[in-house]
């Protein structure tokens, strides 16, 4: 006998992982260069050179036992203070190393935050579609329920939908901007409006509604005019769930943090619950070497001009072929409207042309497909004739 829920999760891969595995198999059959895999959000640019420099420095200069030993459960004090000081300086909003908890990436940050904030069975967390599918797994794993809200026509949060969804069981809202899968960056105006609504509701229900800001793509924006709001600067009861997976191209190293805003009404209690949740989930401490690398390289990124070029090539190319795409201000995903009702059927047709795209259904957005453009630019160039044939098959016109 095994745990039913764990068994169900473990015996079925996510649609994205399924496609990624298919791509590897198909590559062996027809040659990797003939498979246009746009399934996974695995960064394609190398980590900035400072990462390797710092790893070498630490390995050569720091005593091995100290370098590889356990750190405090919440992370090395110097690391936490450095990151908090950087955040305060970058965003003009005071953060505190003693309220920051180092984690194994954003997935761990989210599970820890959700476990820390779930009070009882039946508690609810809200999210706007489209959303990262693992949220449902994480929220339900914490014993709560995920309620998905419809966005507006630009895939921005619909504040009216938020107002209608609020009730005393709502513990928090997960906000992911720049967004996976749409690439949309939520506007400062809409986010401020949301903050006002949540503040009022918190007052009305007599308990804070937490803003869980999932920010693995914070630095991945391509136009000067695009402003990514730092949530603690507009809302008090905020937990920032950050990851170095995308900005530093380190997804396999599992490093990130949860930062509780010092302005939280119950900041000390929330932080204690974060530490407790990390303990309960068995994290012990985040990887010691990469805590130090993260602190030294915090704020740096890989070469984002590659993603920008890929975005422009793909967005420009597909819209020219007649596809309707959401303009992606950030992250490294393009969200394309399916030219037929069923996005799954569209993905199957694309697969027939060796184009591996992910149907939007799992992201809570039927009728769209996600194209991950964190790939070699050459793959996009090679894929264009296949996209062109697909557009012709649907009779699309520019």
Query: Smallest distance, Å, CB 362 to ligand PLP?
Result: 13
Other CB atoms within a 10 A radius of the CB of residue 61 amount to 8
Closest CB 243 distance from ligand PLP, rounded Å:
3
- In the DSSP assignment, the letter for residue 336 is E
CB of 41 to ligand PLP, least distance (A): 4
| Choice between 138 and 323, CB closer to ligand PLP | 138
Q: In the bound complex, what is the minimum distance in angstroms from residue 146's beta carbon to ligand PLP?
A: 14
Q: Which is nearer to ligand PLP, 84 or 241 (CB)?
A: 241
The two most distant CA atoms of the chain are separated, in Å, by 65
* Radius of gyration, alpha carbons of the chain: 21
Q: Which of 152, 129, 201, 204 is nearest to 172 (CA)?
A: 201
- As measured in angstroms, the least distance from the Cβ of 385 to ligand PLP is 29
Give Cα separations from 318 to 4, 185, 231 (angstroms): 43, 20, 33
Contact call for residues 264 and 236 (beta carbons, < 8 A): yes
Q: Min. distance of Cβ 127 from ligand PLP in angstroms?
A: 10
Q: Please, which residue, 127 or 383, has the CB nearer to ligand PLP?
A: 127
Task: Specify the residue, 281 or 396, whose C-beta has the smaller distance to ligand PLP.
Answer: 281
Residues binding ligand PLP (CB under 6 A): 41, 105-107, 132, 176, 180, 214, 216, 243, 245, 251, 256
Shortest distance (Å) from residue 393 CB to ligand PLP = 30
Q: CB of 374: closest distance to ligand PLP in angstroms?
A: 10
Determine which helix (DSSP H) or strand (DSSP E) holds 213, and give its type and residue range. Answer: strand 210-214
Copy the structure tokens of residue 149.
């809200």
Minimum gap (Å) between residue 329 Cβ and ligand PLP: 15
Q: Which is nearer to ligand PLP, 104 or 201 (CB)?
A: 104
Three-state secondary structure call for residue 245: coil
User: Measured from the CB atom, is 47 or 321 closer to ligand PLP?
Assistant: 47
In DSSP terms, 260 is beta-bridged to: 239
Q: Which is nearer to ligand PLP, 10 or 122 (CB)?
A: 10
What is the β-pairing status of strands 145-149 and 124-128? parallel
Closer by beta carbon to ligand PLP, 180 or else 343: 180
Q: Which is nearer to ligand PLP, 222 or 244 (CB)?
A: 244
Q: Which is nearer to ligand PLP, 126 or 321 (CB)?
A: 126
What's phi and psi for 117, nearest 5 deg? -100, -15
Number of Cβ atoms within 10 Å of the Cβ of 18: 13
Q: Would you state the structure tokens that stand for residue 30, as one six-digit string? A: 């027809």
Q: Which helix (H) or strand (E) holds 257?
A: strand 256-260
At closest approach, how far in Å is the CB of 132 from ligand PLP? 4
175 and 213 in contact (C-beta within 8 Å)?
yes
First to last CA, the chain: 57
CB 185 within 8 A of CB 329: yes
Cβ proximity to ligand PLP, 208 vs 256, nearer residue:
256
List phi, psi (to 5°) of 358: -105, 130
Spatial distance between the Cα atoms of 224 and 109, rounded to a whole number of angstroms: 29
Residue pair 386/392 in contact (Cβ under 8 Å)? The answer is no
Residue 353's SS3 state is coil
Strand pairing category for 124-128 and 170-175 = parallel
Minimal distance in Å, beta carbon 190 to ligand PLP? 18
């Amino acid at each position: 006998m095994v745990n039913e829920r764990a068994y169900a999760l473990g015996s079925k891969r996510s649609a994205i992982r399924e496609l990624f595995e298919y791509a590897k198999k198909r590559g062996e059959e027809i040659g990797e260069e003939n498979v246009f895999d746009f399934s996974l959000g695995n960064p394609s640019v190398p980590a900035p050179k400072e990462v390797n420099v710092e790893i070498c420095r630490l390995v050569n200069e720091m005593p091995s036992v100290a370098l590889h030993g356990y750190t405090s459960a919440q992370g090395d004090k110097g690391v936490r203070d450095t990151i908090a000081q950087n955040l305060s300086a970058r965003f003009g909003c005071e953060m505190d190393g003693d309220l920051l908890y180092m984690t194994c990436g954003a997935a761990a940050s989210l599970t820890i935050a959700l476990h820390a904030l779930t009070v009882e069975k039946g508690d609810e967390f809200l999210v706007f579609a489209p959303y990262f599918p693992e949220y449902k797994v994480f929220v339900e794993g914490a014993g709560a329920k995920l309620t998905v809200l419809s966005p507006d026509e630009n895939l921005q949060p619909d504040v009216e939908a938020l107002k209608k969804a609020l009730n005393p069981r709502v513990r928090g809202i997960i906000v992911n901007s720049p967004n996976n899968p749409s690439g949309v960056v939520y506007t400062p105006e809409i986010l401020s409006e949301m903050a006002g609504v949540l503040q009022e509701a918190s007052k009305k229900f007599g308990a804070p509604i937490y803003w869980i800001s999932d920010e693995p793509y914070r630095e991945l924006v391509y136009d000067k005019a695009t402003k990514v709001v730092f949530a603690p600067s507009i809302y008090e009861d905020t937990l920032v769930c950050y990851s170095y997976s995308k900005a530093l191209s380190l997804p396999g190293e599992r490093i990130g943090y949860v930062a509780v805003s010092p302005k939280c009404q119950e900041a000390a209690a929330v932080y204690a619950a974060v530490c407790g949740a990390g303990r309960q989930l068995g994290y012990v401490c985040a990887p010691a070497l990469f805590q130090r690398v993260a602190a030294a390289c915090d704020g740096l990124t890989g070469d984002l001009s590659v993603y920008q070029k890929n975005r422009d090539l793909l967005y420009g190319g597909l819209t020219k072929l007649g596809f309707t795409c959401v303009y992606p201000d950030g992250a490294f995903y393009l969200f394309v409207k399916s030219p037929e009702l069923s996005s799954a059927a569209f993905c199957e047709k694309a697969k027939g042309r060796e184009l591996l795209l992910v149907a939007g259904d799992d992201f809570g957005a039927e009728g769209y497909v996600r194209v991950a453009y964190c790939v070699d630019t050459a793959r996009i160039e090679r894929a264009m004739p296949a996209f062109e044939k697909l557009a012709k098959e649907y009779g699309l016109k520019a």
